[in-house]
């Protein structure tokens, strides 16, 4: 089976860079994948993609060495299994509140006897290799998002869930949980301390911690704090920032 670069990098003690796809188009996915992110996530929760968009976007990513990841919209086994069958090598599950919910997400990502994933890797076997089904349980990465009051209250139990590879911090929803205004790259001391607590708890239980960032400066700080993966930027954010920069430069030069 094709090795999962995310797991390889984690084994070597390296931090993984993750890019984000909010736009549901194969060409956008291909262009982002060619920018040398270690992994790239198709966002089914808040992005414009639907399940019918996933396979061509994964095909586009697969032209490169970038690892294809999907954030599903909900902790729903059928959707998780479908994304994996289409070739995702990592699954991000939002709004995980309890150890039972984390265990359900893990089970959907693992074939029996470990989990309950149904057999039918219609595209994944072509991307992953002929021995995909025999090896997939060891290669697929499953990440649970910690971003609610209940999730924080059950942090220890979630991190202790057998088979869970990482916890993933959703900073805006975590801000809601802490009674703060939702924002990315939140510098609030309470928010930073909570993120560090999630990081420490994850590492104590032998799993990884991921920080969702909005820019390089905050991401660099997260790397220095010990996070194992940082989401750096998205296709949409880059498009907006690039267009804005060019317009502002034009206005400044023609004022």
> Could you give the residue numbers annotated as active site?
46
Q: How far is CA 59 from CA 30, 78, 97, 130, 137, in A?
A: 8, 21, 32, 18, 22
Q: Using CA atoms, how far apart are residues 209 and 165, in angstroms rounded to an integer?
A: 9
Report the distance separating Cα 162 and Cα 219, nearest Å. 28
| Number of CB atoms found within 10 A of residue 211's CB | 27
Number of H helices, E strands in the chain: 13, 8
Cα distance between residue 61 and residue 136, in whole Å: 19
Element (H, E) at 208: strand 208-212
Instruction: Give the C-alpha separation, 146 to 174, whole Å.
Output: 7
Distance CA 138, CA 141 (A): 8
Query: Which helix (H) or strand (E) segment is 166 a member of?
Result: strand 166-169
3-state secondary structure of 194: helix
């Amino acid at each position: 089976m094709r090795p999962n670069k995310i797991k390889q990098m984690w084994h070597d003690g390296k931090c993984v860079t993750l890019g984000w796809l909010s736009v549901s188009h194969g060409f956008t996915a291909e262009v982002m994948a060619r920018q040398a992110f270690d992994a790239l996530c198709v966002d089914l929760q808040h992005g414009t993609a639907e399940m019918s968009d996933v396979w061509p976007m994964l095909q586009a990513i697969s032209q490169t060495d970038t690892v294809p990841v999907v954030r599903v919209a909900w902790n729903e086994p059928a959707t998780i299994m479908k994304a994996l069958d289409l070739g995702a090598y990592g699954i991000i599950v939002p709004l995980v509140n309890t150890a039972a919910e984390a265990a359900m997400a893990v089970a959907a990502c693992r074939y029996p006897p470990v989990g309950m994933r149904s057999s039918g890797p219609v595209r994944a076997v072509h991307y992953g290799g002929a021995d995909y089904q025999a090896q997939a349980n060891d290669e697929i990465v499953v990440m649970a998002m910690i971003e609610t009051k209940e999730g924080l209250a059950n942090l220890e139990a979630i991190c202790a869930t057998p088979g869970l590879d990482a916890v993933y911090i959703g900073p805006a929803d975590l801000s809601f949980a802490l009674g703060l205004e939702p924002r990315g790259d939140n510098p609030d001391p309470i928010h930073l301390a909570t993120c560090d607590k999630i990081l420490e708890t994850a590492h104590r239980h032998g799993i990884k911690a991921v920080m969702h960032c909005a820019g390089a400066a905050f991401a660099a700080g997260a790397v220095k704090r010990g996070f194992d993966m940082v989401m750096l930027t998205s296709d949409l954010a880059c498009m907006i920032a690039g267009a804005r920069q060019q317009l502002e430069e034009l206005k400044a030069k023609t004022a």
